[in-house]
């Protein structure tokens, strides 16, 4: 399997970081989902802890089987038929999350820049480009992440720093005066966006040092959560808690409201550009993981021929995933996304961990 | 060699592609666009009336050194239309336009007094929602006729909207007679508990004969940008004049520079009927510290202001170099002048029962528990709020001379 290539630990970290940061900053759910909150940035810590836990649960199981993807070890643990059924849950996650991600990117572009362009076109272009990267294999995606990461972070930090002079620090007060419940509520959605970590069990066998992959994944989600803290601080500091929480794309609105001087304003491109880059990495990874696991479920040797038909499904799915912006927005409410993501993470991993535990006990018994 | 050729091909391709990225990125050609530079909103029987100040997108660019500017003739067109919503009103100008309307360059939005009294939320909502309008536009409340305002020609400016948005920058830096804000700030202000907006005011001067005056050799100023419109919620309830606005800037730490004339004390040897003598102090570097008193039940506040100033002129003789007491007395007098401004502003706000200083908001931010107790009664508490003022002014330099020249 050497022909398929490998990625380094750093590349895995960057891939997972970009995937999580893109979606976390695009909607900035941390400031929108729990109503107006001056201290929403505190939820960044909650999200860091929560997503780190998810990464641990997902990663530590997978690293027990460093040469197998989730499809392979699920069959080993649960038997062929049941294992394949569980792997289908993973496949569903890849398809669904990727569809929502691309849809959101499409919505940003259609809402803010290209109101006359059909959503289909924006989405299809993104998926086609990503499927090319997925076709080229994991090594290419790893290097793409290497290349995109500095641009991605630099642009987001530039926007953030450019907004600092416009901050009215009073808008960030009071801090933690309304108790811990709203903060916890605000951290639910950013935490469960870590559903993306479920790509790790497919990527892990391709990482050069699989035993360290979990640590990299945890670092990736924690760092991406911490990126939410400065971005939400500037967003609330510039827009105010109310406008920030009403915004469909708060970080984008922030860039609109920043005016460094009479001639230096309109920084929106700096926000949308990294989203496009980040989403490219994310979608190609989902496509790769989806095609790879589907190939293994169906016992096909090469995953590549599956990519073009899957890309078509991805495009159709991301258009069908919600009728309008309101439905998409509702999906990110804590009471919707929370149980949804929790089920998708807990059910397969509960089963797999249980089977693993039983097997361990049996071995000891013998 | 092959590698070299590929590099060359790649570079050439890059260069060719770069040329596509220049200029307009879509098919909206500048010659087909009419740019609105300022929008005015008023109410009418149908709902809203929008006044656009349009500029020819080509004319504005070339007008810079053309003959137009020399005569200060206007290069804009004022157009209005009505609609049931602000957006519809803007859009209804389309039948009168031969070009596509672009609102991406709107720098100022002016709202009439009548509309402001009815509520400005619908206009703010349009500003927030529309993707090419910006929340970094400046908002004004107009006292006077909107139609005349949009047609007014400001001397030295080709388009009055551009002039007004330029003036804002200057005013913010050097005058402190206007509550300078972006629309974002006002939108945010409406959402904050215990804080009401104070929005810049434009006053139309000499409404009757603007058209005549523009033909006179020396045109009169058509409008005045100073003072503030006091809001309660999103509705206009009153005005603040320049001094009150200056008091507001002192209290809210928005002062960058203020010109204060301070009355000089009469010396005993002056005759009874001597004229009042004044000293002009320019205040710079103001630091305001406003705190809600811990034991004040939410109705007592402490204000500390440290201001630096310099003397700009003085109408009576006197020497500051040798007489240190005089400096101290001058500091005290300037401080009292600042205090008077603040008191005036506070009284006005209290009489209108509109907390434009955000005293309630301060409670909300710093003493959340206290705020929860007074939140529902804030309208009753605010008119009786007491602010303890401790204003300290240090006049540190007297310009290039230290005493008034001797007249012999």
Which positions in chain A touch B134 (Cβ < 8 Å)? 256-257
* Chain B nearest C-alpha distance from A295 (Å): 37
A281, A15 contact by CB (below 8 A): yes
Mean pLDDT in residue range A201-214: 87
B331/B196 same-domain check: no
B217/B73 same-domain check: yes
Mean pLDDT in residue range A69-94: 88
Which positions in chain B touch A241 (Cβ < 8 Å)? 191
pLDDT tens digits for range A299-316: 888 888 999 999 999 899
- Res B328 pLDDT > 70: yes
* Chain A nearest C-alpha distance from B288 (Å): 14
Whether A179 contacts chain B with CB within 8 A: no
**C-beta atoms of B136 and A265 within 8 A:** yes
- Candidate from B77-81, B176-180, B219-223, B270-274 with smallest mean pLDDT: B270-274
Model pLDDT, residue B56 = 66
| B191 closest CB neighbour out of A115, A243, A262 | A243
Chain A residue with the nearest C-alpha to that of B181: A166
List Cβ neighbours of B380 (8 Å cut-off, separation of 6 or more).
Answer: none
Under an 8 Å CB criterion, which residues of B touch A?
128, 131, 134-136, 169, 182, 184-185, 187-188, 191-192, 358, 361, 364-366, 368-369
B270/B230 same-domain check: no
| B187 closest CB neighbour out of A36, A111, A243 | A243
Model pLDDT, residue B11 = 82
Chain B residue with the nearest C-alpha to that of A171: B365
Greater pLDDT, B89 or B25? B89
Whether A67 contacts chain B with CB within 8 A: no
B179, B189 contact by CB (below 8 A): no
Distance, CA of A60 to CA of B215 (rounded, Å) = 84
* Chain B nearest C-alpha distance from A252 (Å): 11
B310, B281 contact by CB (below 8 A): yes
B112 lies in some domain? yes
* Chain A nearest C-alpha distance from B192 (Å): 8
Model pLDDT, residue B70 = 41
**C-beta atoms of A259 and B182 within 8 A:** yes
pLDDT tens digits for range A164-197: 888 888 888 888 778 888 888 888 888 888 888 8
* Chain A nearest C-alpha distance from B11 (Å): 20
* Chain A nearest C-alpha distance from B207 (Å): 31
Quote ipTM for the complex.
0.78
- State what percent of residues in chain B have pLDDT above 70: 88
Model pLDDT, residue A262 = 61
B199/B277 same-domain check: no
Which positions in chain A touch B365 (Cβ < 8 Å)? 38, 170, 173-174
Model pLDDT, residue B64 = 42
| B368 closest CB neighbour out of A111, A174, A265 | A174
Give pairs for B286-289: CB < 8 Å, separation 24+: B286/B250, B286/B253, B286/B255, B286/B256, B286/B258, B287/B253, B288/B250, B288/B251, B288/B252, B288/B253, B288/B255
Distance, CA of A172 to CA of A183 (rounded, Å) = 14
B267, B285 contact by CB (below 8 A): no
B215/B264 same-domain check: no
Greater pLDDT, B272 or B233? B233
A68, A271 contact by CB (below 8 A): no
B165/B221 same-domain check: yes
Six-digit token pair at B47?
A: 């709902």
| A240 closest CB neighbour out of B131, B192, B366 | B192
B100/B214 same-domain check: yes
Mean pLDDT in residue range B375-401: 87
Chain A residue with the nearest C-alpha to that of B104: A266
Task: Give me the sign of the Cα torsion angle A86, A87, A93, A95.
Answer: negative
For residues B198-231, b (16+ Cβ closer than 10 Å) or e, as one string?
bbbbbebeeeeebeebbeeeebeebbebbbbbbb
**C-beta atoms of A173 and B131 within 8 A:** no
- Res B69 pLDDT > 60: no
* Chain A nearest C-alpha distance from B222 (Å): 25
Say whether A275 sits in a helix, a strand or coil: helix
Which positions in chain B touch A240 (Cβ < 8 Å)? 184, 187-188, 191-192
Which positions in chain A touch B366 (Cβ < 8 Å)? 173-174
| A173 closest CB neighbour out of B134, B365, B369 | B365
Distance, CA of A206 to CA of A312 (rounded, Å) = 26
Residue B164's nearest CA partner among B130, B196, B187, B141 is B141
Model pLDDT, residue B65 = 42
Domain of residue B356: give its range. Answer: 252-401
Mean pLDDT in residue range A258-281: 78
Domain A8-320 fold is: Amino acid/polyamine transporter I (1.20.1740)
First to last CA, chain A: 34
Please state the length of chain B: 408
B11 lies in some domain? no
B170/B256 same-domain check: no
B177, B242 contact by CB (below 8 A): yes
B35/B182 same-domain check: yes
Q: Where are the alpha helices (DSSP H) in chain A?
A: 9-27, 29-32, 43-62, 70-78, 80-112, 119-136, 138-163, 181-192, 200-203, 213-239, 241-246, 250-257, 268-297, 307-320, 325-331, 334-365
Model pLDDT, residue B85 = 92
B1 lies in some domain? no
At which of B240, B269, B294 does a domain end? B240
B224/B329 same-domain check: no
- Res A139 pLDDT > 70: yes
Burial of B15 (0-12, 13-18, 19+ CB in 10 A): exposed
B407 lies in some domain? no
Domain boundaries, chain A: 8-320
At which of B219, B240, B261 does a domain end? B240
Q: How confident is the model at residue B21 (pLDDT cuts 50, 70, 90)?
A: low
Burial of B174 (0-12, 13-18, 19+ CB in 10 A): middle
pLDDT tens digits for range A5-34: 888 888 999 999 999 888 888 888 888 877
Six-digit token pair at A148?
A: 């995109």
Model pLDDT, residue A190 = 87
At which of B240, B270, B289 does a domain end? B240
B155/B260 same-domain check: no
Chain A residue with the nearest C-alpha to that of B107: A262
**Number of domains chain B is built from:** 2
Which positions in chain A touch B182 (Cβ < 8 Å)? 257, 259
């Amino acid at each position: 399997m050497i022909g398929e290539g490998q990625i380094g630990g750093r590349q895995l970290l960057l891939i997972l970081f970009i995937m999580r940061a893109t979606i976390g900053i695009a909607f900035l759910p941390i400031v929108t989902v729990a109503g107006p909150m001056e201290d929403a940035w505190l939820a960044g810590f909650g999200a860091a802890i929560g997503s780190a836990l998810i990464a641990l649960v997902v990663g530590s199981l997978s690293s027990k089987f460093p040469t197998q993807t989730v499809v392979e070890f699920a069959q080993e643990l649960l038997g062929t038929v049941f294992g394949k059924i569980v792997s289908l849950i993973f496949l569903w996650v890849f398809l669904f999350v990727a569809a929502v991600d691309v849809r959101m990117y499409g919505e940003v572009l259609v809402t803010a820049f290209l109101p006359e362009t059909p959503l289909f076109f924006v989405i299809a272009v993104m998926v086609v480009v990503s499927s090319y990267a997925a076709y080229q294999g994991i090594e290419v995606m790893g290097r793409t992440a290497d290349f995109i990461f500095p641009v991605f972070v630099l642009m987001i930090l530039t926007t953030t720093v450019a907004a600092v002079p416009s901050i009215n620090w009073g808008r960030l007060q009071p801090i933690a005066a309304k108790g811990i419940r709203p903060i916890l509520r605000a951290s639910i959605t950013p935490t469960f966006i870590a559903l993306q970590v479920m790509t790790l069990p497919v990527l892990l066998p391709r990482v050069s040092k699989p035993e360290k992959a979990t640590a990299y994944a945890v670092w990736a989600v924690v760092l991406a959560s911490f990126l939410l803290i400065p971005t939400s601080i500037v967003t609330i500091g510039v827009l105010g808690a109310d406008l920030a929480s009403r915004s469909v794309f708060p970080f984008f609105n922030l860039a609109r409201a920043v005016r460094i001087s009479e001639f230096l304003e309109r920084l929106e491109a700096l926000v949308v550009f990294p989203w496009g880059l980040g989403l490219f990495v994310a979608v190609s990874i989902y496509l790769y993981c989806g095609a790879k696991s589907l190939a293994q479920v169906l016992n096909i040797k090469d995953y590549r021929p599956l990519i073009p038909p899957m890309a078509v499904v991805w495009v159709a799915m991301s258009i069908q995933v919600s009728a309008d912006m309101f439905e998409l927005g509702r999906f990110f409410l804590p009471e919707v996304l929370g149980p949804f993501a929790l089920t998708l993470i807990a059910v397969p991993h509960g089963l797999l961990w249980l089977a693993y535990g039983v097997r361990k006990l049996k071995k000891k018994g013998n | 060699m092959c590698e070299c050729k590929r590099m060359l091909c790649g570079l050439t391709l890059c260069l060719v592609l770069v040329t596509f990225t220049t200029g307009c990125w879509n098919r909206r050609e500048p010659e087909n666009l009419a740019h609105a530079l300022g929008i005015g909103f008023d109410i009418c029987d149908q709902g809203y009336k929008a006044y656009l100040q349009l500029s020819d997108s080509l004319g504005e660019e070339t007008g810079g050194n053309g003959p137009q500017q020399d005569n200060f003739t206007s290069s804009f067109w004022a157009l209005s239309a009505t609609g049931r919503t602000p957006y519809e009103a803007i859009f209804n100008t389309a039948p009168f336009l031969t070009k596509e309307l672009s609102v991406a360059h709107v720098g100022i939005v002016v709202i009439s007094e009548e509309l402001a009294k009815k509520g400005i939320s619908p206009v703010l909502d349009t500003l927030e929602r529309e993707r090419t309008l910006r929340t970094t536009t400046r908002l004004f409340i107009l006292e006077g006729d909107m139609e005349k305002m949009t047609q007014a020609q400001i001397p030295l400016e080709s388009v009055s909207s551009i002039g007004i948005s330029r003036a804002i920058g200057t005013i913010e830096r050097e005058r402190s007679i206007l509550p300078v804000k972006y629309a974002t700030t006002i939108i945010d202000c409406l959402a904050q508990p215990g804080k009401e907006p104070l929005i810049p005011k434009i006053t139309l001067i000499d409404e009757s004969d603007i058209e005549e005056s523009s033909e006179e050799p020396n045109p009169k100023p058509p409008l005045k940008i100073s003072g503030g419109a006091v809001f309660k919620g999103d509705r206009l309830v009153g005005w603040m004049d320049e001094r009150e606005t200056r008091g507001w800037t002192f209290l809210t730490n928005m002062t960058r520079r203020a010109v204060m004339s301070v009355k000089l004390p009469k010396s005993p040897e002056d005759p009874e009927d001597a004229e009042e003598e004044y000293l002009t102090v320019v205040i710079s570097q103001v630091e305001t510290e406003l705190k809600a008193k811990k034991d004040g039940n939410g109705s007592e506040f402490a204000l500390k202001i440290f201001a630096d100033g310099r003397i700009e002129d003085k109408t009576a003789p006197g020497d500051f170099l040798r007489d240190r007491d005089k400096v101290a007395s001058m500091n005290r007098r300037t401080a009292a002048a600042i205090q008077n401004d603040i008191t005036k502003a506070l009284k006005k706000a209290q009489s209108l029962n509109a907390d434009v200083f955000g005293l309630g908001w301060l409670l909300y931010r710093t003493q959340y528990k206290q705020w929860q107790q007074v939140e529902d009664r804030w309208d009753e508490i605010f008119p009786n709020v007491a602010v303890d003022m401790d204003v300290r002014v240090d006049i540190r330099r007297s310009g290039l001379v230290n005493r008034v020249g001797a007249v012999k």
